[in-house]
Amino acid sequence: MTPNTAKVSGDPYEVLCAFLKKESGLIIDAQKRYLVESKMQPIIRREGLNGFHGLVDILINNKSAPLAKEVVETMTINETYFFRDKVPFDKFSQVVLPKLIETRPAYKTIRIWSAACSSGQEPYSLAMILDQMKAQLGGRRVEIIATDLSEAILAKAREGLYSQFEVQRGLPTPFLLRYFDQKGDKWQIKESLRSQVQFRRLNLLGDYNAIGNVDVIFCRNVLIYFDNAGKREVLAKMRRNLANDGFLMLGASESVLGTSTEFVADPMHRMVLSPADANLGAARRPAVAAPATPAALRAAILAG
Ligand SMILES: C[S@@+](CC[C@H](N)C(=O)[O-])C[C@H]1O[C@@H](n2cnc3c(N)ncnc32)[C@H](O)[C@@H]1O
């Protein structure tokens, strides 16, 4: 790419922050200027751009979609580890899954969505729990859909290859020995477990139709980077995908207080949230996969 000399009006740092918010929902405050500039420097140098101004000019004038994607991905925070915070996974195995097994007919697939899955530790932790609970599941099918904004992090997630440091964070040793193969100085999730997770790119600011109706959503440690309007938008959309008697799990430091009236926390299990309108009977909001008209409903019943 040739050096770009076009002028950007206003502070290019602020323009970049507005761009990041629009593309990903991420809010970056004024104190992060140095961090943002240092993260952008390698891209600016590699592309031979006219400094920060040159980069921002390319972004706001849509001159390079791949570069815009790279800039957004560079700014995402991918911190994650196996069984992160432990409690949500305990709640999943002790409260959520038993409830779903009790309330769902055996032929019905249980669908779990790990939104903002980063390098895969969250959905693979869920897959390990499901394997441990095979007997209780009694042959019932479970699907895990794991999504993230970043293609680069999804490629790592799909490969399921982790360093010694990564498998030492949160993963019980018996699980390491049971569910991983050693590959040189790294560890790879066994194919049998990898094949249980479908990884797909999805921007939480986009639409969720491709996800369909799900029973459980893990949406942890991503909404902390959004402003209230962004959080509200995501939670409202998630409500439409979640079964009326489904469950939403947020991160340890996240809550819906002051941002959403769509969900309520279980008083006994703080991190487990349910749709707030779950007890409204016929007035409940239909989930996305529900037939929209009486004719479609009749056809669905006839189709079994
Ligand atoms: C801190 S990680 C959290 C990973 C995992 N959920 C956990 O709690 O360990 C946040 C992830 O959110 C993703 N992310 C950020 N903005 C996003 C957006 N608008 N849509 C989808 N994913 C996004 C990032 O790429 C990153 O992988």
| Å from CA of 221 to ligand 1 middle | 7
The residue contributing the CA closest to ligand 1 atom 2 is 78
Distance of CA 188 to the CA centre of its chain: 21
* Contact present, 159 and 166 (Cβ < 8 Å): no
Q: In this predicted structure, which of 50-59, 168-177, 235-244 has the lowest mean pLDDT? A: 50-59
The domain locations on the chain are 12-75, 87-283
Contacts by 152-156, CB closer than 8 A, 24 or more apart: 152/73, 153/73, 153/76, 153/78, 153/118, 153/119, 154/117, 154/199, 154/200, 154/201, 156/119, 156/120
8 A C-beta contact, residue 87 and residue 252? yes
Select 87-283's CATH number: 1.10.10.10, 3.40.50.920, 3.40.50.150, 3.40.225.10. Answer: 3.40.50.150
Flag whether pLDDT at 286 surpasses 90.
no
d(CA 148, ligand 1 centre) in Å: 6
Ligand 1 atom index nearest CA of 84: 9
pLDDT band at 272 (very low <50, low <70, confident <90, very high): confident
Q: Is the pLDDT of residue 195 over 50?
A: yes
Average of per-residue pLDDT values in the chain: 89
Distance in Å, CA 157 to ligand 1 centroid: 12
> In terms of pLDDT, which residue wins out, 221 or 8?
221
Q: Flag whether pLDDT at 255 surpasses 90.
A: no
Which residue's alpha carbon is nearest to atom 26 within ligand 1?
Answer: 78
pLDDT band at 8 (very low <50, low <70, confident <90, very high): low
Instruction: Among 72-81, 249-258, 291-300, name the one with the lowest average pLDDT.
Output: 291-300
Report the amino acid identity of residue 93.
S
Q: What would the CATH number be for the domain defined by 12-75?
A: 1.10.155
Residue nearest to atom 11 of ligand 1 (CA): 116
The strands making up 142-148's β-sheet, listed across from edge to edge, are 197-201, 142-148, 110-115, 214-219, 242-250, 272-275, 263-265
| Dist. CA 183 → ligand 1 center (Å) | 27
Where are the alpha helices (H) located in the chain, listed in sequence order?
Answer: 12-24, 33-47, 51-60, 65-75, 87-91, 97-103, 121-132, 134-137, 151-159, 164-168, 173-179, 191-194, 228-241, 294-302
Confidence check: pLDDT of 218 > 80: yes
Q: Which residues line ligand 1 (CB under 6 A)?
A: 24-26, 76-80, 84, 116-118, 122, 148-150, 153, 203-205, 220-222, 251
Neighbours of 99 (CB within 10 A): 15
**Atom 3 (ligand 1) nearest CA:** 221
Strand partners of residue 113: 145, 217
Tell which atom from ligand 1 comes closest to the C-alpha of 205.
19
| Cα 138 to Cα 13: distance, rounded to the nearest angstrom | 55
pLDDT 10s digits, 107-137: 999 999 999 999 999 999 999 999 999 999 9
